[in-house]
Structure 1
């Protein structure tokens, strides 16, 4: 039986009235929610704000939409303050991939140009880069960055592929499949020196890193507020701080098309923008209740604890080494290696996620990198040590059994 180690397990966060933090969310208590990093979770306070906004919208749509751009502009100004960027540099987009699509669709043609990405990139963004390269009649060059690469090694791997034909560099700030940071600050300096446009995919960053663009040289930066920022889903941002932003247009041409960046993004036809408008409420709830520094510290300490006890449970059961050497680890995200034969491809990892939900009652993330499967642990303020103790005690044995009994042909 897994027991809490009071010397390393952080004390769970509580609401002001003494209730568990989870009481501020509407998450199903019958499920262990261990994968905040994929789709986030919206606190009830922000849900109520969005519901009231939707009620207002539906009560008089003709009055709602003409004034919507001004309200969107006010909301993005608040989000810009949270990210420590200028409001005139930030536009709302539906998600980080949508922000990347804006960049890919707006860059001028570069016949025969090359795009540099890494093998840690998010699939949808990498596919978008490949599609852009095909339109250019060029190619995508993929930098291999070992999982345990430190900042210097990762920097060298990416910059070694930059050349005269490079028309764009795309690097994750925090990687999705491997839960590590990339040295985007140094890469950005080199890209700027070479005058190569640089797109940073910061999908997981808002809420995890304070002032994430401080000291970062990049032409474009995208981030999901609906992940660790707990905003309603579909609330993301595109930050553009160089002259390149004048080329950016939203995915939907609407009546703001002739406005400058970012105002042209504030008007998107009849798009439901209530998620954008409710985003400040979500960010403010965390700030008022615990403060973002306290929330980040708790998420980091809980992730450390979760990785240790789950990793040790797997090691005891299967002999897999418990620690995974990640070169630049991230607060709130950790990797634990799965038993051999499980999750070695993206499709196999996705199948494990579905099976764990169906058979074990847990919402967990499974990823793959270099043919190896991993459990990606993800924490937030509503999680407790007991969540991960449950996983170690009840789920690890079941996953170990899956590894022993599943044939390659029937691998889940």
Structure 2
């Protein structure tokens, strides 16, 4: 079978820079950018007419995005990002005083902050379950199950961890929570585009970003809510849709928000379809396997041995003595950007520091070869 060629021409990314971190902020295809600009120009040409048209356009967009996730459109709402989705879910459940919100040590920082805020407000506590990087699905379920006692108000769990690129056994965990009467909240920030039908795992709440692997405009994400929670789930901003009994429409009307990214988002799904994304995703995964080994050899380190790693993300350990402060980490990334003209991200887990490589259709093996040649010079 012929290997698909990289398609950087479909993006407007600076060709003089190595873009090796699609997983953080994504990158929007040229065609979607043009649609987005046209929508914003239309809004500015006649704001009254634009806002009259928004409701129908949002409905059309939501239906396409829900179909992409293969989920019930009546339980699918648009939100700005997965952090907003998790926050809305926490606001919908009951958190009694003395109860616990359970997370793992793979949880995203902003999600942890949300759990801590709601725990403080309700005189509850946050409990962290340690899940080793190399844990298989059985070990993950056993570790989390041990923490699910009768004090637990909710489990928040990653579908694909941002810090470690580990894929969690969400269906098994959702079933476990259901059997215990515990609400499950799934942070699926990285899941759309990397997992097929990511929201079909039976969780009470699932949220995921479209601006990452589906390459939609930023501030585009979805929240999927199980039927029994839909009446209680409200948008974080009180606006004119406050009394709408329908979950999706309740989240749509947020006053003078910029709706253009939500409306333009499906265009990126069409770009992915033309790119044969499922096949390309598989090829990128194989390419990253080899690229990660190459970089680890150049650094004299090893790989993050994740039992079930996401398709297009890999961890390569950096030879740092200890975990740098957030400020030092940002300074290092800025140095790599400035000196090597390469954009990377760092993650830390269990006292180890990694470069988290990620790839999309604009990347090639040569990108990672260049990083392997150059990165040792700035350490």
For the pair 1:287 / 2:266, whether they are aligned, the reply is: no
Q: Deviations over 1:357-381 (max 9, x none)?
A: 1222100011111121101010111
Structure 1 residue 312: Cα displacement: 1.6
For the pair 1:179 / 2:179, whether they are aligned, the reply is: no
For the pair 1:71 / 2:95, whether they are aligned, the reply is: no
For residues 332 and 322 of structure 2, the distance between their equivalents in structure 1, rounded to whole angstroms, comes to 8
Structure 1 residue 217: Cα displacement: 2.0
**Alignment-derived partner of residue 252 in structure 1:** 237
Secondary structure (helix, strand or coil) at the match of 2:231 reads helix
For residues 234 and 295 of structure 1, the distance between their equivalents in structure 2, rounded to whole angstroms, comes to 25
For residues 115 and 284 of structure 1, the distance between their equivalents in structure 2, rounded to whole angstroms, comes to 39
Structure 1 window deviating more from structure 2 (223-232 vs 257-266): it is 257-266
Structure 1 residue 346: Cα displacement: 4.4
Q: Deviations over 1:270-297 (max 9, x none)?
A: 1001000111001111102x22212211
Structure 1 residue 184: Cα displacement: 1.4
Structure 1 residue 245: Cα displacement: 2.0
**Alignment-derived partner of residue 132 in structure 1:** 118
Tell whether the 8 Å contact from 1:343 to 1:367 is kept in structure 2 after alignment: no
For residues 270 and 367 of structure 1, the distance between their equivalents in structure 2, rounded to whole angstroms, comes to 36
Q: 2:336 aligns with which of 335, 342, 356?
A: 356
For residues 154 and 216 of structure 2, the distance between their equivalents in structure 1, rounded to whole angstroms, comes to 30
Tell whether the 8 Å contact from 1:349 to 1:367 is kept in structure 2 after alignment: no
For the pair 1:327 / 2:307, whether they are aligned, the reply is: yes
**Alignment-derived partner of residue 22 in structure 1:** 8
For residues 71 and 167 of structure 2, the distance between their equivalents in structure 1, rounded to whole angstroms, comes to 21
For residues 75 and 328 of structure 2, the distance between their equivalents in structure 1, rounded to whole angstroms, comes to 40
**Alignment-derived partner of residue 4 in structure 1:** none
Tell whether the 8 Å contact from 2:95 to 2:124 is kept in structure 1 after alignment: no
Structure 1 window deviating more from structure 2 (201-210 vs 103-112): it is 103-112
For the pair 1:93 / 2:79, whether they are aligned, the reply is: yes
For residues 195 and 150 of structure 1, the distance between their equivalents in structure 2, rounded to whole angstroms, comes to 25
Count the aligned residue pairs.
378
For the pair 1:38 / 2:24, whether they are aligned, the reply is: yes
Q: 1:117 aligns with which of 96, 99, 103?
A: 103
For the pair 1:306 / 2:291, whether they are aligned, the reply is: yes
Structure 1 residue 349: Cα displacement: 3.0
Question: Given the superposition, is the C-alpha separation of residues 29 and 228 from structure 1 closer, same or farther in structure 2, using an over 3 Å criterion?
Answer: same
TM-score by length of 1: 0.89
Structure 1 residue 67: Cα displacement: 2.5
- Structure 1 runs not aligned, ≥5 long: 1-9, 15-19, 403-412
Structure 1 residue 343: Cα displacement: 4.4
Secondary structure (helix, strand or coil) at the match of 2:197 reads coil
**Alignment-derived partner of residue 221 in structure 2:** 236
For residues 322 and 125 of structure 2, the distance between their equivalents in structure 1, rounded to whole angstroms, comes to 32
TM-score by length of 2: 0.96
Structure 1 residue 246: Cα displacement: 1.4
Q: 1:275 aligns with which of 239, 261, 265?
A: 261
Q: Deviations over 1:15-70 (max 9, x none)?
A: xxxxx500110101111000000000000000011111111111111111133122
Q: Deviations over 1:67-116 (max 9, x none)?
A: 31221111011001111111111111001011111112232342222100
For residues 345 and 159 of structure 2, the distance between their equivalents in structure 1, rounded to whole angstroms, comes to 19
For residues 353 and 149 of structure 2, the distance between their equivalents in structure 1, rounded to whole angstroms, comes to 33
Tell whether the 8 Å contact from 1:12 to 1:384 is kept in structure 2 after alignment: no
Structure 1 residue 207: Cα displacement: 0.6
Moved over 4 A (4+): 342-347
Structure 1 window deviating more from structure 2 (180-189 vs 384-393): it is 180-189
Structure 1 window deviating more from structure 2 (43-52 vs 64-73): it is 64-73
For residues 210 and 163 of structure 1, the distance between their equivalents in structure 2, rounded to whole angstroms, comes to 32
Secondary structure (helix, strand or coil) at the match of 1:111 reads coil
For residues 184 and 350 of structure 1, the distance between their equivalents in structure 2, rounded to whole angstroms, comes to 32
For residues 353 and 374 of structure 2, the distance between their equivalents in structure 1, rounded to whole angstroms, comes to 20
For residues 170 and 109 of structure 1, the distance between their equivalents in structure 2, rounded to whole angstroms, comes to 13
**Alignment-derived partner of residue 213 in structure 1:** 199
- Structure 2 runs not aligned, ≥5 long: none
**Alignment-derived partner of residue 7 in structure 1:** none
